[in-house]
Amino acid sequence: MSTDLEKTKILGIITFLILAIQLSHSEQVITVQGHYAETNYNLAGKPSMIPVGVGSVADGGEENMAGFLNVSFVATLGKNTWRICATNQANEWETLTYDGTNTYLLTSFKGRVDPRPNTNFWAPKSGAISFGTVNAGNRYSAPGTSYVEMFFPWIVYGLPPRDVSSGMPLPWGNYDVSLRDYGWRWNVTPSADERFIEAFKVVRDTSLDLVYKDEFLRPTFRYPGTMQEFDMAQRTLEWRKASPNGNVEAVYTVNEWYKTNNLAVPASVEFEGYIIYAGSTNTFRWNDTVLKLDQISIDEDTIKVPALVGATYVRDFRYTRRSESRIFPFAAYTQSGAWKSGNDPELLAQRDDYLKHGPKYGDYGLPSDLLKLGQENRLVLAWALLALVQVVAIAMITIFILTKTKNKQTKQ
């Protein structure tokens, strides 16, 4: 009898431990389902005939013509993790996941185009069916083009006010290759619990501009690898410089909240984008995006980074490094299954090789002597200044002695 009782107790303890382990790997999450619609406008204030959600029209889709984009999404929100899945009417999809440490983007590779192709960096191997990026922290960077304008649901559900710096680059642009997306100030109003952004206005702030050479060395900007890319980056800088101080870039407002049990979640949101047309001084509204929440639930779930199903070309920006003369923009690889870690030996070797043999700052665009004063340059400058001081001192002493000698001879 006692033996059976002991077995029952042991079985109960084991069952409890198994349940405890399972619960420790899951958490209470908020699951939000909804949709958003984007309309782009031309200079006349009418819906533009330029397609949005780049890639769908080229692949035969027509839902984005006349400047319209319709997207369905599901956002799963944990305490310090989240996942957003979005699909447009052409079934083009993107998944953005924050695991508490890094942000992972995964999307179809079909029609994917880098806005600044570069032979000095790695191109995807043939056969890649998916495309992925990894960024350290809670940071979204548009991968050239977005089928679903992922920046919008990320701002709504994945970007807490504490993560918004006053000079944050514009996430609806391509700030890794465009200098227009810097030099803007975010004026943010947080929600009551400070979990979400209630409203913001982004305005031009010329005090955030840098000197010419430092614009090209911004930490999140990919330094040009060819003269053509340098010229393009310079044009985006000139475009930004044409925007006067205080000019409004974007306005964001949560018009309605879903509230229950001390929980408030954005339920109706609007984003308006404004721009100065190149070569003009007139500002016009180019974008109007409206999001609506359709359904919300509270569940037990575990937010995990999705596996790489099929051959996936990945750009890992955790490996970005700068030396005195070179910038390594990202590590790249193609594989299926698990994502590589932030200290993968092969990717570290890839980075180290580039920092030794890749193009230098001065190879394209700005002369290297304008871009930096490295340790060696600073040492040379220090010695040159010391020599100059010595020359000046000797000259002054010589003049003093000669003057004194001449005065003595005059008195005699």
User: So what's the pLDDT on residue 88?
Assistant: 94
What pLDDT does residue 395 have? 59
Closest to 138 measured CA to CA, from 166, 163, 106, 171:
163
- Mark the ranges of the chain whose per-residue pLDDT is less than 50: 5, 8-9, 11-24, 50-66, 118-121, 369-384, 412
**Does pTM top 0.85 for this prediction?**
no
Residue range 153-197, pLDDT digits in tens: 999 999 999 999 999 999 999 998 899 999 999 999 999 999 999
Residue 126: predicted pLDDT: 59
Please report the pLDDT score of residue 284 as a whole number.
80
pLDDT digits (tens, 9 = 90+) for 81-138: 999 999 998 899 999 999 999 999 999 876 555 555 544 445 565 578 889 999 999 9
Instruction: Give the pLDDT of residue 360.
Output: 80
